[in-house]
């Protein structure tokens, strides 16, 4: 099911603004005779990017139902429990179940929202810890440097908004934001242990992709690749899920490596001496029709056209 959404709202009437804000964010008091607000929200069930422009002075009391990470222009002070701050000074977190008291005054806010279970599942994949539950210690980033890293990732993500209807683009942006968030904000638990686990998975991934590239012409399997780099097939799949940008599994990577090699062979081959079926078989594609479909999907042209160029 496609759960993608891209919505825009703007209100210029005080009563309409108050009603819309209360519907979206709970208890809101607009403290002005004139008020308007605009919001652009884009995302899916797992995450969303929200841009809000407040042309008013208001007070919000909001109990979060997911993780929110926010930054703003000057003019959005907040209180969560005994802590307080301003999102223009540093980005901050509102965690599920925590109550935010926000006081926007004529400002612009950028929000990244994550479904709590999805963020936990992503953290488990990245750090290789099946028991990890995403919870954060504090309301701000680990350091100023990591806060700037998160803000830079957010700025890049916003450049991708026009493309987010495409599932692959959205998945890439969602993953990049989640990885930056998990590193920039203080997850509860041993950070050194998490980094060691993430580094180990990255090492496995790098070694496995190199081995697959070198052995793609042979009848090797994912189990062979796992043994070659000293892990199990499950461990290898976890490493690809955590690190794979071009392919999220070793099976996908092996297929892509073979398809790329077949493409190179088709470019070099003599159409009078070779056939598409022969090249496909050489690279492990037993079903010529399946090879043609995969080739067209990636290269946007029939392999026969490539052979006869």
What integer is the mean pLDDT of 97-101?
A: 92
CATH class of this structure's domain 1-189? mainly beta
- Position 209 scores a pLDDT of 92
Residue 32, number of CB atoms within 10 A of its CB:
14
Least confident of 88-102, 111-125, 245-259: 245-259
∠ CA 286-237-192, nearest 5°, is 160
Least confident of 6-10, 129-133, 301-305: 129-133
* pLDDT tens-digit map of 53-66: 988 888 888 889 99
Q: Whole-angstrom Cα distance, residue 20 to residue 30? A: 11
H or E element, residue 130: none
What is the per-residue DSSP string for 24-56?
Answer: HHSEEEE-SSS-EEEEEEEE-SSEEEEEEEEEE
Helix (H, G, I), strand (E, B) or coil at 165: coil
Helix (H, G, I), strand (E, B) or coil at 108: strand
Q: Could you give the C-alpha distances from 139 to 46, 70, 100, 102, 184, in angstroms and in order?
A: 21, 10, 11, 14, 11
58 is written with which tokens?
């208001």
- Position 131 scores a pLDDT of 85
* pLDDT tens-digit map of 142-200: 999 999 999 999 999 999 999 999 987 898 899 899 989 998 999 998 777 777 777 88
| Closest by Cα among 144, 145, 134, 169 to 49 | 169
Domain boundaries, the chain: 1-189, 190-309
Q: How many helices (H) and strands (E) does the chain have?
A: 11, 9
| Closest by Cα among 51, 146, 136 to 90 | 146
137 by Cβ neighbours in 10 Å (0-12 / 13-18 / 19+) ranks as exposed
- Position 245 scores a pLDDT of 67
* pLDDT tens-digit map of 225-283: 999 998 888 888 888 887 876 678 899 899 888 998 889 988 888 777 888 888 888 88
- Position 1 scores a pLDDT of 46
Q: What CATH number has the domain spanning 190-309?
A: 1.10.10.60
Inform me whether the pLDDT recorded for 2 exceeds 70: no
CA neighbours closer than 13 Å in the CB half-sphere of residue 194: 20
Place of tokens 């990255």: 202
């Amino acid at each position: 099911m496609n759960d993608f959404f891209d919505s825009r709202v703007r209100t210029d009437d005080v009563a309409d603004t108050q009603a819309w804000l209360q519907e979206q964010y709970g208890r809101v008091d607009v403290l002005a005779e004139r008020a308007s607000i605009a919001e652009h929200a884009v995302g899916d069930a797992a995450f969303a990017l929200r841009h809000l422009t407040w042309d008013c002075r208001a007070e919000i009391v909001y109990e979060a139902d997911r993780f929110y990470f926010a930054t703003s222009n000057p003019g959005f002070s907040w209180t969560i429990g005994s802590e307080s701050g301003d999102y223009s000074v540093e980005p901050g977190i509102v965690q599920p179940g925590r109550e935010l008291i926000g006081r926007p005054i004529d400002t612009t806010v950028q929000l990244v929202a994550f479904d709590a279970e999805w963020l936990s599942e992503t953290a488990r994949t990245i750090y290789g810890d099946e028991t990890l539950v995403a919870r954060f210690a504090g309301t701000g980033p680990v350091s100023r440097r990591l806060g700037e890293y998160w803000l830079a990732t957010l700025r890049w993500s916003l450049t991708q908004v026009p493309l987010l209807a495409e599932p692959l683009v959205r998945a890439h942006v969602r993953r990049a934001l989640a990885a930056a968030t998990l590193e920039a904000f203080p997850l509860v638990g041993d950070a050194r242990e998490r980094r060691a686990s993430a580094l180990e998975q990255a090492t496995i991934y790098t070694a496995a992709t190199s081995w697959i590239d070198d052995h793609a012409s042979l009848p090797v399997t994912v189990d062979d690749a796992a043994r070659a780099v000293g892990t199990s097939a499950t461990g290898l799949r976890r490493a690809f899920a955590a690190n794979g940008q071009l392919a999220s599994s070793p099976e996908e990577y092996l297929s892509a490596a073979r398809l790329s090699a077949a493409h190179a062979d088709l470019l070099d081959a003599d159409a009078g001496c070779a056939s598409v079926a022969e090249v496909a078989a050489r690279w492990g594609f037993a079903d010529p029709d399946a090879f043609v479909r995969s080739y067209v999907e990636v290269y946007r042209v029939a392999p026969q056209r490539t052979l006869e160029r």
